[in-house]
Chains A and B, each alone.
Chain A
Amino acid sequence: MQPKEFKEQFFSQIYKEYLDKIYRFVYFKVDSEEIAQDITSETFARLWKQISLDIEIKNPSGFLFKTARNILVDHYRAKEKNPANLDNMSFMVKDEHQNIEQKIIKDEEMKKIQLAMAQLKDDYRQAVFMYYIEQEPISEVAKSLGKSSNNARVIIHRGMKQLKKILEA
C-alpha cells in the first residue's frame, strides 16, 4: 500500500495536467458552467477513489475521458436534457480570466462550432477535441480513445468531416 502523501502527489499531478482538458471536454457537451463543474469534479473524485484504493491506473488520460463520458451519459439519462444550447454559452464571455482571444467566443461562428461539437458522436468529439483544441499528438489521442494511432487518425478525419457537415447544414 502506498503512503497517502504519495497518492496525493500522484493525484495532484494528474489533476494539474488534465483538469482544464476534462472541464473543456465536458463543457462542450453540457449546457451550463455549473454542470460542467459538477461533472468534472465527479470525474476527478472517481480518479481519487481509484488511487486511494490502490487500484492501478495505467492510462490516466483514458480513464478520465472515459469516466467523464460515462458521467455525461448518466447526466443526460437522468435529466433527459439536450446537449449544449446556444443561449447558455454566453456565460463564457463573463469569465473573469477572459482575454482578447476569449472575446472571439462572442462571435456567432464560435457558438455554432461549439454547438456542432456537442452534436458529434462521442468518439469523434473526443478525437477532434484532443487533436485540434488540446493539440495533443496522435499518440495521446489514440491512448485516450484506447485505439491504435491509425484508428485515431481515421476518427479525427471522420470527426472533422462530420463537424463541417453539421456546420454547413
Chain B
Amino acid sequence: MDEFTLIKRLESLKTIKPDRDWACSVKSQILNQEFEQKPSFSFIFSQKRLVQAFASVAIVLAIMPFAFAKDALPGELLYGFKKVNESIKYAFIVSEDQKSVAQLETRLNELDKISAEPGQNQGKKLAAGIKETKQALSKASQELAKVPESQRAELVTKIVNQISAIEEKTNAAIITTEEKEYQDIYKFFIANEIKEIEAREANLNQEQKDSLSKAKELFDQEKYSEAMELLYQIQPNN
C-alpha cells in the first residue's frame, strides 16, 4: 500500500461516529452529576495559609503565658507576665497616685496569699513578695505626697493598716525606719494619727497628753518611728 492510498484510507476512518442517541443521553447524564467543592491539599498548605497558620500559633503561644499568669505569685516563673498584664490593666487609670495605690494593694494581696499557702518555696516567694511590695510602697509613697491632704489621710491609713496586718501575718518587716524612701508614708500616717488623737484630746489623761506632746516633738524632729511608738501607747477613752 503506497502512502497516498494509506492516507486516503486513514481519512475514510473519520466516518466512524458514535451513536447519536447514546451521545445525547451521555451528555445529559454527565451534566446531571454534581461535584462538591472541597478545599484542595495545595490550597490548605499554600504558602499564604502556612504563614497564617504559623502566625496564629505564634499569637496563641504569645498570649497563653499571659492568660496563665493571672494568679502567679512573686518568685514564680510566670510572675513577669503577670506584671506586664498589670501594667496594661493599670494604664487605663489616669491618676498616678491611684495607680500606685492599686499596685501596692495587689502586692499586699500577693503577700497575703503566700502567707496563707505554706509550701516548699514559701520562703523564696515571701522574699520576692516583700521586695516587690517595697518597690510598690516606695512608688506609692512618692505619689501620695502629691495628693491633697484631705484625700491623703484616708489612703495612708488604709495602706498602713494593710501593711501592719501583712507584717503580722508574715512576721516580716516591710517598712523599716532606716529606709528613708518610706518615711513620707510614715510622716503622713503619723500626722494623721496625731490629728485624730488631738481631736479627742479631752478624753486623754495627763500621761496620754504628755505622750502626745512628746510624739509631736519627735514628729517635728522627723523621728517618725519613735513618734509612732508613743502614739501606739496612747489609748484615748473614746
Contacts and interface: CB of A to CB of B under 8 A. Distances in A.
Interface string B1-14: 10100110111111
Contact of B26 (A44, A95, A97, A135): A44
Interface residues of A, number: 44
A41 interface: yes
A164 B18 CA distance: 27
A23 B18 contact: yes
A138 interface: no
Contacts of B35: 49, 52-53
Contacts, number: 93
A128 B16 contact: no
Interface string B208-236: 00000000000000000000000000000
Nearest to A22: B18
A113 B15 contact: no
A149 interface: no
B234 to A, nearest CB: 87
Given A37-B26, A45-B30, A52-B34, A164 B6 contact: yes
Interface centre among A8, A11, A12, A48 (most CB of B within 10 A): A48
Interface of B: 1, 3, 6-7, 9-20, 22-23, 26-27, 29-31, 33-35, 37
Interface of A: 8, 11-12, 15, 19-20, 23-24, 27-28, 36-37, 40-41, 44-45, 48-49, 52-54, 92, 95-99, 101-102, 104-105, 109-110, 113-114, 128, 132-135, 160, 163-164, 167
